[in-house]
Structure 1
Amino acid sequence: MANNRQNASEEFWQNLFQKCPAVLSQVFPQSMFQLGSKCYVGGKSITNSGGNLVDFIYASRLTGNIVLVEIKTPKTKLLGKKYRANSYSISEELTGAFVQILNYKDQLIKEYYKLSANEDGNGFSAFNPKCLVIAGTLESELQEGIQYKSFELFRNCSSNVEMLTYDELFQKSRDILDMVK
């Protein structure tokens, strides 16, 4: 992964996480597995248009409850313009990702009974599922304390969406590898 830290292709990251599901499963406190990739979460109209696909769904090995995961790229901007003297706005890309995954969650909850009863027997539970957005990097964008503060204030005030940057994901992977050495 280190060689691709600046890769701006969302499809690259989609394929990597699909091939190596343990990379993302390590970020959850409970034991999780990848239930699916590019999963349909509802939203089609009567004309069969407008469906929603979330990048990944992870499920708890013990309860079956799910987490919806939306990935962007390490190049996704985290912050927008400076707002007054002591704060920065959040980027349009990042707020868009938050709204996007909340829309997926809303649609999945509305269509849960139809979606959870599938023919392969791999049902799941959706007890107020968590949402995770992976986007951007701290190291390339945040240069001063007020930027870190603005970003942390935004991400920590959201109780419905967890936010993880790629450099945090890379560090977590390194930490786990160090533990098993």
Structure 2
Amino acid sequence: MSGESPESDTKEVIVTSVNGTRTQIKALVTRSEGNVVDLAIQVVPARGPAREAMRLRRDDVTRFIAFIEALRFVDPTTGESRVRVDDELLSKFLRDPESVKAVYREDPAALRELIAEDASATDVIAVAHRRSAVAEFERLLNDSEHFESQRGESKGPESVWQAFFERNPWVLGIGLSDQLFTSFDEDRLEKTVLGSDIVGPGKRADALLKTAGAVRSLVFAEIKHHRTPLLGKEYRIGNYPASSELSGAVAQSQGTVHAAVERIGHRYQQRTADGFDVPGDYLYMVRPRSFVVAGDLSQFRDIGGGMNDRMVTSFELFRRNTFEPEIITFDELLERAKWITQASS
């Protein structure tokens, strides 16, 4: 149709399906970028040219569609000879939860599209999603049966947390540090980098992140699980060494970062999927930050809720003197996620 963009798409809809000499009614619907921008109703007689009965454009189309939709929720048995559908009636309809639910059941995609275009609604959805993620985080941490149900057969405990952080990378992004971290790879946190990539054969980062800002740097994280023991058996009275699992995770992280720095140097050039350099898109690796997420500080608490002061002291001395990687426990990460979610609501 004249005046429409090249991206416009016009479809013909037969309103009445008739044969013989009866008149046919057609609707010509023109959409552009997913929105109806033109609606023409034509009367097509058996003989002779088609006659245009009505044409609506843009905002008028939207109002007409809303009018037709609203008619489905108007009770014609009110006793009045006519029912007027105006903005007030539409407002009442939208304030009725049952009516909105009915519309959602009829066309959920349309409502989702409206919400996606509403900044305030998007914010509400984002906060709701974060609250849901925090609730799931807390349940995985404290409900053993639920955690086991997520493991499935032949899956280790680390896989549950890897999957959770893949679905909710923001928990690591704002929970590990006062810096904002984002995923290095938009598709997944875990990165096994071979050949021309980051770390080289045989090395894997459970989460490869990058800092946000004018200068961006790579960040590495090893994700264990909340049952990872933090301390081993008492070595001397009041002194507890780091567990073999925790010290092993530290060594693994250090080896991964060392291999990456040796392979790449102090700066990593971002490339396209076809192998071309992205001009000016660098990630720096000047003593890149690294993290180990493991264990739960409640390991130092007895059944009555009392803390073992010597265990706490031994653990804090170990991690405060382990500069690379930084060690954070799952319960600490949860509390950070809780605080961020509450502050943004």
Q: TM-score, normalised by structure 2?
A: 0.48
Runs of 4 or more, structure 1, over 6 Å off, are none
Q: 2:173 aligns with which of 12, 21, 25?
A: 25
Q: TM-score, normalised by structure 1?
A: 0.88
Letter in structure 1 aligned against 2:332: E
Letter in structure 2 aligned against 1:30: Q
Letter in structure 1 aligned against 2:318: F
Secondary structure of the corresponding residue to residue 82 of structure 1: coil
The residue number in structure 1 matching 2:287 is 128
The residue number in structure 2 matching 1:2 is 138
Instruction: Considering Cα pairs closer than 8 Å and 6+ residues apart, tell me whether 1 or 2 has the greater RCO.
Output: 1
The residue number in structure 1 matching 2:78 is none
The residue number in structure 2 matching 1:75 is 227
How far, CA to CA, are the matches of 1:42 and 1:180 in structure 2?
36
1:89-135 deviation digits (Å, cap 9, x = unpaired): 1100000000000000000001115x933432464221110110000
Give the C-alpha shift of residue 80 in structure 1: 0.2
How far, CA to CA, are the matches of 1:131 and 1:67 in structure 2?
6
Secondary structure of the corresponding residue to residue 88 of structure 1: coil
How far, CA to CA, are the matches of 1:3 and 1:164 in structure 2?
19
The residue number in structure 2 matching 1:156 is 320
Give the C-alpha shift of residue 175 in structure 1: 1.4
The residue number in structure 1 matching 2:164 is 16
Letter in structure 1 aligned against 2:225: T
How far, CA to CA, are the matches of 2:162 and 2:292 in structure 1?
13
The residue number in structure 1 matching 2:199 is 42
Letter in structure 1 aligned against 2:300: L
The residue number in structure 1 matching 2:341 is 177
CA contact (8 A) 2:172 2:181 kept: no
The residue number in structure 2 matching 1:112 is 264
1:54 has 2:205 as partner: yes
Q: 1:98 aligns with which of 250, 274, 284?
A: 250
Alignment length (residue pairs) = 174
Letter in structure 2 aligned against 1:78: L
Unmatched runs of 5 consecutive residues or more in structure 1: 45-50
Give percent identity, aligned residues only.
27
Unmatched runs of 5 consecutive residues or more in structure 2: 1-136, 148-155, 273-277, 302-307
How far, CA to CA, are the matches of 2:183 and 2:314 in structure 1?
32
Name the larger-Rg structure: 2
Secondary structure of the corresponding residue to residue 190 of structure 2: strand
Q: 1:142 aligns with which of 300, 306, 329?
A: 300
How far, CA to CA, are the matches of 1:174 and 1:61 in structure 2?
22
How far, CA to CA, are the matches of 2:333 and 2:139 in structure 1?
14
How far, CA to CA, are the matches of 1:56 and 1:85 in structure 2?
37
